[in-house]
Amino acid sequence: MIIPRSHPRYLSLKTREQLVRANRSGIVVPEGLIAHGRGEAFDYILGERTRPSAEKAIEAAAALLLTAEKPVISVNGNTAALVPRELVRLARAVGGDVEVNLFHRGGDREKRIARTLRRSGASRVLGVGKEASGRIPGLESMRRKIDPSGIGDADVVFVPLEDGDRASALRRMGKKVIAVDLNPLSRTSRSANVTIVDNVTRALPLLNRQVRGLKRYNKRRLVRIVSGFNNEKNLIMAVKEIMSYLNKWNGV
Amino acid sequence: MIIPRSHPRYLSLKTREQLVRANRSGIVVPEGLIAHGRGEAFDYILGERTRPSAEKAIEAAAALLLTAEKPVISVNGNTAALVPRELVRLARAVGGDVEVNLFHRGGDREKRIARTLRRSGASRVLGVGKEASGRIPGLESMRRKIDPSGIGDADVVFVPLEDGDRASALRRMGKKVIAVDLNPLSRTSRSANVTIVDNVTRALPLLNRQVRGLKRYNKRRLVRIVSGFNNEKNLIMAVKEIMSYLNKWNGV
């Protein structure tokens, strides 16, 4: 058995500290910290690197966002804490809006997140307070709230770190869903049209770069990229990437 | 690709709620929630079941605790929140003590945890306040505090959910270390003498049952169980168990 490098590395430790601070300032809920831990573990067995399956999904996601009529970038507490600037940049690059979309609403958490997004350059933030008057059918309570002029009206929704119930409910509403999820077996991963199995802190900068790169392509070429992508096959590829990483310790 | 049963199951959800409550009451720190999330993810890819490798480690752990001169059961915030009664029961069954042993000390967290242990039946709780005047060599600040009449004097230490630095520092002090860690690749797992790759909520009741079962064995038989156990081989077995679980989704 080879001894792998010590873990956690500096980067995952820095991210962890960011989350703990955001928890203290009321942006990240306790459940968000647990969810982050799950992500850390899956990232660990992916070798904490963006793998080929993720690169493929990032390309498909960029093409899908660029061909969308009305793309919306959904933002929750964890992503607001980790990659607010990248999310605002993405919305701007694809001609869409950011929308605060929380599993656990309440207090002025939405407002804090909206403030973070505005400080990160967003001129408009959807989904705050009374604006979240729309409903996702089939979900109960706070989890179903959406902005009718945002996710409610979108054809493509980018939902990094989404919950499984909501991802599939958005699909049933006829929306195309792009998820970022480090667990390739999760319901979110399996119900999205495009799942990026990667850490948001690595995936978002790469996605923004890909969007800039594909922007000069014509629509036909972009549509071809999207239709050439098979999410199920790509998730199996991600599982294989995990297994090949684990295999390193599975010998002598 | 087969669709696995929906996740999280009731049990992991209940455990998660227990942790969130314990965070609110000051027993579990934010870092503990993140660590719990990591455990959830590894448990997920183990199929949320006690696997043969864990059963083997539990048997070796029980034998090692029963042959110890002075066993100590180390308790942190997460284990106090999840399995306080089982920990106290284990200490009593092997003729040892429970000691509060925290990565993040401060406030009256130690006292809260001690109170939880007393409410769970402990008549004596080590490692609280000034009693934690001992030091683990090679570690900085709060993380090195131990009770000289507890872990400081122990030959066998049971440290469920321990940090890697401390587990190896305890080894360097000449102690036998038993860890419970769902990540078979972690430094804790690799530096312990016996690592139980299982969820503490499943492993502790099984360990207590095993202790009751082995109690009537003579010392020679117990020593033979301990010396027949190879932690490195057992960890490779745990990695294989994960891979065989992942393999289910790695086909068509």
| Inter-chain touch A236–B16, beta carbons under 8 Å | no
pLDDT tens digits along B164-189? 888 899 999 999 999 999 999 999 99
Distance of alpha carbon A48 from the chain centroid: 17
- SS3 string of B9-57? CHHHHHHHHHHHHHHHCCCCCHHHHHHHHHHHHHHHCCCCCCCHHHHHH
Structure-model confidence comparison of residues A44 and B251, the more confident one: A44
Q: What percent of chain B is predicted at pLDDT more than 90?
A: 76
> What pLDDT score was predicted for residue A249?
65
Closest A-chain CA to B6: A187
How far apart, in whole angstroms, are the C-alpha atoms of residue B5 and residue A156? 27
Mapped to the 3 state alphabet, what secondary structure does A17-54 carry? HHHHHHHHCCCCCHHHHHHHHHHHHHHHHCCCCCCHHH
Closest residue by Cα to residue B182 from B37, B83, B8, B14: B37
**Pair B23, B30: CB distance under 8 Å:** yes
Inter-CA distances, A144 with A73, A200, B226, Å: 16, 23, 54
Chain B: give the shortest CA distance to residue A53, in Å. 14
Residue pLDDT, tens place only, B84-143: 999 999 999 999 999 998 877 776 899 999 999 999 999 999 999 888 888 888 887 667
Which residues of chain A, if any, have pLDDT below 70? Answer: 1-11, 107, 141-142, 249-252
Rounding to the nearest 10 degrees, give the CA dihedral for residues A66, A70, A71, A76.
170
What pLDDT sits at residue A2?
A: 45
In the predicted structure, residue B252 carries a pLDDT above the cut 70: no
The dihedral through the CA atoms of A162, A165, A166, A168 has a sign that is positive
- What is the nearest CA distance from A223 to chain B, expressed in angstroms? 26
Interface residues of B toward A, Cβ cutoff 8 Å, are: 1, 3-4, 6-7, 16, 19-20, 23-24, 30-31, 33-42, 44-45, 164, 183-187, 190, 232, 235-236, 239-240, 242-243, 246-247, 249-251
The tens digit of pLDDT for each residue in B10-48 reads: 668 889 999 999 999 999 999 999 999 999 999 999 999
Shortest distance between the Cα of A38 and any Cα of chain B, in A, equals 4
pTM of the model: 0.92
Query: Can you tell me the ipTM of this complex?
Result: 0.90
The nearest CA of chain A is from the CA of B69 a distance in Å of 31
Q: What is the 3-state secondary structure (H, E, C) of A153-199?
A: HCCEEEEECCCHHHHHHHHHCCCEEEEECCCCCCHHHHHCCEEECCC
What residues of A are in contact with residue B45 (Cβ under 8 Å)? Answer: 45, 185
Selected for mutation to probe chain A from B33, B181, B252 (highest A CB count within 10 Å) is B33
Least confident residue range of A95-109, B150-164, B190-204:
A95-109
- Cβ-proximal residues to A216 (8 Å cutoff; 6+ apart), any chain: none
pLDDT at position B6, please?
A: 46
pLDDT attached to residue B1: 45
A3, A19, A183 ranked by CB distance to B34: nearest: A19
pLDDT of amino acid A139: 81
- Name the residue in chain A with its Cα closest to that of B237: A250
Question: Counting beta carbons within 10 angstroms of the beta carbon of residue B123, is it exposed (0 to 12), middle (13 to 18) or buried (19 or more)?
Answer: exposed
Cα gap B19→B42, rounded to integer Å: 17
pLDDT-based confidence at residue B250 (cuts at 50, 70, 90): low
CB-closest option in B7, B236, B242 to A1: B236
Q: Minimal Cα–Cα distance from B92 to chain A, Å?
A: 32
A76 Cα distance to chain centroid: 9
Q: How confident is the model at residue B81 (pLDDT cuts 50, 70, 90)?
A: very high
pLDDT tens-digit series, residues B218-233: 999 999 999 999 999 9
Which chain B residues contact residue A24 at CB under 8 A? 30
